[in-house]
């Protein structure tokens, strides 16, 4: 998809990522350790088997929520903020756990937009982003806000 500008974005538009991202144990463990998260549920199989053997975990490592969020956002950039930059994320909700082998997709709905008051030639867009797994389950949702230029504008 070509770079989008403020004028190209319409409230009510919905986009589903054309590509998915399959999560591996290595992805999860590296992200968790790189971010200094010491919760063993993300990197210690012995711990999860002993302490989280019941449903829905069944002794499996749980994918770090921040990694899940980063992947879901990344999958939506092509359709939303590729030409802009993020201002914030709010109302993050994790619905079902993500495990190694799950494939994530992103669904985005444009919920609001307005011209920026402080940066002429730019707009502020608010989107509802939903992470969906290969079983069509909603794994998470959030509201994300980004700033994007209007056509022929530069910062």
Q: Across the chain, what does the average pLDDT equal?
A: 96
Domains in the chain, please, with CATH?
A: 6-149 (3.10.129.10)
- Report pLDDT digits (tens) over 62-78: 999 999 999 999 999 99
pLDDT of residue 1: 59
- Report pLDDT digits (tens) over 3-34: 789 999 999 999 999 999 999 999 999 999 99
Question: pLDDT-derived band of residue 124, with 50, 70 and 90 as boundaries?
Answer: very high
pLDDT of 131 higher than 90:
yes
* 142 vs 72: CA distance, rounded Å: 10
pTM of the model: 0.93
pLDDT of residue 67: 98
- Report pLDDT digits (tens) over 85-107: 999 999 999 999 999 999 999 99
Tell me the mean pLDDT in the region 144-148. Answer: 97
């Amino acid at each position: 998809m070509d770079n989008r500008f403020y004028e190209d974005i319409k409230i009510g538009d919905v986009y589903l990522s054309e590509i998915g991202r399959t999560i591996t144990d290595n992805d999860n463990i590296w992200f968790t350790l790189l971010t200094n998260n010491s919760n063993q549920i993300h990197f210690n199989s012995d711990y999860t088997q002993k302490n989280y053997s019941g449903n829905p975990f069944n002794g499996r490592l749980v994918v770090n929520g921040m990694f899940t969020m980063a992947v879901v956002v990344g999958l939506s950039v092509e359709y939303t903020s590729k030409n802009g930059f993020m201002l914030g994320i709010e109302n993050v909700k994790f619905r079902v756990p993500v495990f190694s082998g799950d494939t994530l997709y992103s669904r985005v709905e444009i919920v609001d937009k307005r011209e920026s008051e402080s940066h002429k030639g730019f707009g502020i867009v608010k989107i509802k982003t939903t992470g969906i797994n290969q079983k069509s389950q909603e794994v998470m949702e959030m509201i994300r806000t980004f700033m994007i230029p209007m056509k022929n504008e530069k910062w």
